[in-house]
Amino acid sequence: MVETSQYASTTKYIVKAHFEVQGVVEKPDVVGAVFGQTEGLFGPDLDLRELQKNGRIGRIEISLESKKDLTTGAIVIPSSLDKVSTAIIAAAIESVDRIGPCEAKISLEKVEDVREAKRQSIMTKAKDILRKWVVESSPSTEEVVKDVAQSLRGIDIIEYGPDKLPAGPEVEGGTLVLVEGRADVILLMKCGVKNVIALNGTKVPDTIIKLTKDKEVTAFLDGDRAGDLILKELQQVADIDYVARAPYGREVEELTPKEVLRLLRERVPINQARPVERSGERQDYQRQDNRGPQRPERSERPYFERRGPPMRDRERDREREPQQGPQREPFELPPQPTAAQPIIAPTEKVQLPAPIGEAAKELRGTLEARIFDETGKEVARIPVSELAEKIPSMDNAHTVVFDGVVTQRLLDLAASKNVKFLIGDRVSDLAKKSDKLSVMTMDDIAA
């Protein structure tokens, strides 16, 4: 039997027939009988010789065997004709009744569709490819969970340069974002900004000065006076291209990811950078302009305006007045209120419950906050960015420990909810003392 794979790729069908001859014949006899007895039956369009010349019919393959004056064998004819023409050729082959000098009988076995076999082979191969693809490329549930969890906590901060500055893994790229501290680096990396590095202090290190020479640098600074001072120093010693600032009174590490990305988009060139806008000062300035010349404050008036006429004139006036009823005491001004003093961290460490001390150690670099009740039991754990929003809804908060900056806003909110201890990584210069609660840094807590 002849295999179909040996035929040209243009072959569509294979005609297979079986023959029996009452005598001894050879292959040329069979081929001659097929060509001779079918010639001229259907005109030149279906003549085997013409079809073979045009390549529409392939080489006719014969296999035979002779035993006891009986010859049997098979005929295989490749065809690239359509189904109708191939069926006519197959029927014509069956009409041959003599091969050589002997009587013969040819019976059709089947007409095989080569393309069907090819389709089956393709489908089998496709199933095998798909099975391997699914097994090799589809991760297991454990791998998926591990990969997602790693993306949430995998903030790989590196130490860059001789100064060992906190930085992201892409700090060597063509652009750079410059922030103030390690917490700012962590926040920006969670927002997808990995080309970030921290000053790690108010003085600009030599590493930063060298790094900014051949990069596009954006300085992203806090919205306080310290940020203004750092900006002035950067303008003097480093090559800064753009500046982005947190809103007045807020730190970069307190911002939400949406605010971080928005402020970076709204950065301005270094030559247009100005000190962060202080809304309170601007309003006072506008009120002063609208009211015209202002009367000096009481503490700034001359002594005689604040205290009334001289003593001799007042005694003379009392002598002229009739002496009736008890004498009224001279009017005295109430003491002037003193300006609120900035918070000064205590010099001695404060002893708090052990869970609070442990929380202060664990929270560094996490940008999280933990809230404890009066007994020292933890009642909540939230991101620092949600702390200002959650404090007003807390009724049993006694101590708040968080990896961030104690601002005046957080101080006021905590005091309104009777929080007794507010403990942050550091305290803003703008935060003022409060009689209602104690404000500390994590370093102030006794080990």
Has residue 172 got a pLDDT over 70? yes
User: What was the pLDDT predicted at 269?
Assistant: 92
pLDDT tens digits for range 126-143: 988 888 887 776 666 767
User: What was the pLDDT predicted at 153?
Assistant: 54
**pTM value surpassing 0.85:** no
| 429 compared with 221, residue with greater pLDDT | 221
| 350 compared with 197, residue with greater pLDDT | 197
Has residue 244 got a pLDDT over 90? yes
User: What was the pLDDT predicted at 9?
Assistant: 58
Asked if residues 177 and 195 have their Cβ atoms less than 8 Å apart, the reply is yes
Give the SS3 label for residue 383. Answer: strand
Quote the DSSP letter at residue 262.
H
Q: Considering the chain, what is the average pLDDT of its residues?
A: 78
Question: Picking from 103-112, 204-213, 436-445, which range would have the lowest pLDDT averaged per residue?
Answer: 436-445
User: What was the pLDDT predicted at 278?
Assistant: 54
The pair of structure tokens assigned to 12 is: 């569509």
User: What was the pLDDT predicted at 326?
Assistant: 47
Question: How far apart (Å, rounded) are the C-alpha atoms in residues 224 and 70?
Answer: 111
Q: Please classify residue 333 by burial: count the beta carbons closer than 10 Å to its beta carbon, then call 0-12 exposed, 13-18 middle and 19+ buried.
A: exposed
Cα–Cα nearest to 439, from 409, 395, 403, 400: 400
Has residue 302 got a pLDDT over 50? no
User: What was the pLDDT predicted at 214?
Assistant: 85
**Share of residues in the chain with pLDDT > 90 (%):** 12
Has residue 258 got a pLDDT over 60? yes
Q: Please classify residue 298 by burial: count the beta carbons closer than 10 Å to its beta carbon, then call 0-12 exposed, 13-18 middle and 19+ buried.
A: exposed
Has residue 110 got a pLDDT over 50? yes
**Share of residues in the chain with pLDDT > 70 (%):** 77
Question: How far apart (Å, rounded) are the C-alpha atoms in residues 150 and 261?
Answer: 23
Mean of pLDDT values over 103-114: 87
User: What was the pLDDT predicted at 344?
Assistant: 46
User: What was the pLDDT predicted at 350?
Assistant: 62
Question: Picking from 34-38, 150-154, 344-348, 358-362, which range would have the lowest pLDDT averaged per residue?
Answer: 344-348
Query: Which residue bears the tokens 């949430």?
Result: 152
Q: At what angle do helices 182-190 and 257-265 cross, to 10 degrees?
A: 90
User: What was the pLDDT predicted at 318?
Assistant: 53
pLDDT tens digits for range 20-32: 988 888 888 888 8
Asked if residues 370 and 363 have their Cβ atoms less than 8 Å apart, the reply is yes
DSSP states of 80-148: -S-HHHHHHHHHHHHT--EETTEEEEEEEEEEEEHHHHHHHHHHHHHHHHHHHHHHHHSPPHHHHHHHH
Give the SS3 label for residue 165. Answer: strand
Mean of pLDDT values over 43-70: 85
Has residue 336 got a pLDDT over 60? no
User: What was the pLDDT predicted at 270?
Assistant: 87
Give the SS3 label for residue 251. Answer: coil
